[in-house]
Structure 1
Amino acid sequence: MTIRYPNGKKFIPKQNDPKQKTTSSAKKAQDLLQFSNRGKRLEDEIDESNAFYLERGIAVIHKKPVPIQIVKVAYPSRSAAVIQEAYFRTPSTTDYNGVYKGHYIDFDAKETKNKTSFPLQNVHEHQVIHMKQATAQRGICFLFVSFSTLERFFILPFQVLESAWENMHRGERKSIPLSVFEEQAFEIKESYAPRLDYLKAVDELLLKQ
């Protein structure tokens, strides 16, 4: 199936790096025992956290559905239909939104393998505009950033992202150093259930604001 953005550009999903595949089945088994959840995608982890919060009445936060317009369908049999081409109707804003302690929460999940900084090319301008508009309405906006190689997770307030974004457009650096995350963001400490209890970091953000 081919999916395209509103401007007609082909959507290419992220692919796993074949170099990351381990060659030892014994090592795989050992890794699974020691790090049972660490192979999951960031969004899967967040979805599990959100389900945990919802079941316990802590927060109502969901992944936003992305509207898709189907333009080409094949019917290999009478009982089956295969979508061959589709378009995103509108550019996506952020990944998640909801309500927590009476606050509107809006954030995007980002991953990087970089060990020293977060590349701003991972963020789209329409996302920055959206978060700026939501913040103007007193919404709580941030990036949920995973430094996957380091196994470190942060809540980066929109104000920090906005400052770095404006600096980039003035010709300054095109990334946010890890040191800025350590100084101005809120680190998510791994726990048992859910593993990424990110609302604890959001609590710190709310107290600061």
Structure 2
Amino acid sequence: MATWNSRGLRGSLLEELINRTNEKYREQHLALIQKIPTPITPVRMDQETRRITLAYFEHRSTVDYIGAVQGIPVCFDAKECRTSNFPIQNIHEHQVVFMRDFEAQGGVAFLILYFTSADRYFYLPYEQLAVFWNRSKTGHAKHFKIEELDTQYELTCNGCYIHYLEAIQKDLDTREF
């Protein structure tokens, strides 16, 4: 059983930037993306602050975000990494399966990655994620390197926004329908 406080606030900066970006996209009528809350059951609370100090996950969540961009269904997860090697174990099998199935239904699935040591953000299309995932399951590297990512999918972070809509368009442009 995984506990809620076992990883601290890892990823909270990235998610805050994405949340602000999503608010801006909604205000500009460009996209409607919702953060999917992870269902937890509190075990212990601090009575003074009324904050949850220990909890467990009720069940596996799918991805962090889901919504639509100009009528196109999208889902994605946000992941941070401290080094230039991203461990595949940070992506759960149920997430990969959900993203695969989402794409099979005509949606666009991807990851937004933040390499904190390099201060670089990337859009990773599901198709490339699947390559890294399958490679790790067949005895090869259990990670991928920042150098393996396509620089055309590097995202800009201006102030408090991570601009990812252009990357979705590039992803769509490479697909055969």
After TM superposition, is the score higher than 0.5? yes
Gaps of 5+ in 2: none
CA RMSD after TM alignment: 2.5
1:189 aligns with 2:161: no
The aligned counterpart of 1:55 is: 27
2:2–2:57 contact (8 Å) kept in structure 1: no
Matched ranges for 1:160-179 at <5 A? 160-179=128-147
The aligned counterpart of 1:91 is: 60
1:149 aligns with 2:97: no
1:105 aligns with 2:43: no
Distance 1:109 1:147 in 2: 11
The aligned counterpart of 1:13 is: 7
The aligned counterpart of 1:3 is: none
Letter of the 2:162 partner, please give it: L
Residue 146 (structure 1) shift = 0.8
Which stretch of the first structure deviates more once superposed, 61-70 or 130-139? Answer: 61-70
Letter of the 1:201 partner, please give it: A
2:3–2:54 contact (8 Å) kept in structure 1: no
List per-residue Cα deviations over 1:4-61 (Å, max 9, x = no partner): xxxx333313368xxxxxxxxxxxxxxxxxxxxxxx8111110110010011111000
2:2–2:56 contact (8 Å) kept in structure 1: no
Residue 156 (structure 1) shift = 0.4
1:201 aligns with 2:167: yes
Aligned identity (percent) is 33
List per-residue Cα deviations over 1:105-139 (Å, max 9, x = no partner): 10000111212x32212111111111111111111
Matched ranges for 1:4-43 at <5 A? 8-11=1-4, 12-14=6-8, 41-43=13-15
Q: What TM-score do the two structures reach when normalised by structure 1?
A: 0.73
2:18–2:161 contact (8 Å) kept in structure 1: no
Residue 87 (structure 1) shift = 3.0
How many pairs align?
Answer: 173
Q: What TM-score do the two structures reach when normalised by structure 2?
A: 0.85
Distance 1:201 1:150 in 2: 20
Of structures 1 and 2, the larger Rg is shown by 1
Letter of the 2:123 partner, please give it: I
Gaps of 5+ in 1: 1-7, 17-39
Out of 101, 121, 139, the position equivalent to 2:107 is: 139
Q: 1:165 to 1:63 in 2, by over 3 A?
A: same
